[in-house]
Structure 1
Amino acid sequence: MKNISGLMTTNVVSVQESDGVEEVGKKMLAAGHHSLPVVDGSSRVTGIITERDLIDAHRQVHLPTVISILDSVIPISGMHEYTEELRKVTAVDAQGLATKRHLQLARPEESVDAVADRMFEHHLHALPVVDADGKLLGMVSRSDILRGLLAQS
């Protein structure tokens, strides 16, 4: 198999942007997946939610380290992490919880090697596969890729 169209799972469990955080968690556990794509009313992928996102949504927010100089507060580090933690703990629905920045999507005609490289580079377990309009066609996981590679041997 040269592209991922033959490897991807087409019977995909996804969540709507308006689904509540608890509902998303229940769907993820029931499906047994590490991540679920978030879709809008037109089935376009708008984000992805991972197990880590759901766990982070229930953790305490850690304030960033700052220093105060001449009545100014200057963050030393961790401001991006703080913003992400705050976003997750205040999310009430899938749209608010989903990772949207640097969202990685695959196209069915992409090569197995290209998709595998991207997944490992970004430490991803699975990628949504979309058409030219961004509509969800399937998901491809590390297990799917491994199965395809072993079938070629």
Structure 2
Amino acid sequence: MEDILVGRVMTSDVITVHPDTFVEEAASLLLERGVGSLVVVDDDGRLEGILTSTDFVAIVAASKPKAQTTVERYMSTDVTTASAQDPIIEVADRMVDLGVHHLPVVDDDGGVIGIVSTTDLAEYLSGLETKRTV
């Protein structure tokens, strides 16, 4: 895998916004385009920053006045899951096919025993690469 370069696996259709874009518009773009981040650029297309879906958690937490809205209104209920015995390649394929970054891991009774994320998979692959090159 060490001969696979970033240029081969990167997404080149980058969704960009300017620093003066309103957060409501940015949130709509994230949802409409199904992406987790927007790259912030100046008028010449030079990198200024990045705005991620995680940043929106901070935006909502800091908003005043607080909206008294429960998570039930926005949560996804058609949740795809994994079991602890699923091969990671199958789970990774499932996550890519569905365009999701987190899969709850459940037992045979549907009880939550963990969660697997794209970060978990990347850390695992990174560890494999480190062990192979040492």
Shorter-chain TM-score bucket reads 0.3 to 0.5
Q: Which has the larger strand fraction?
A: 1
Instruction: Say which structure, 1 or 2, has more relative contact order (CA 8 Å, 6+ apart).
Output: 1
TM-score w.r.t. length of structure 1: 0.38
TM-score w.r.t. length of structure 2: 0.43
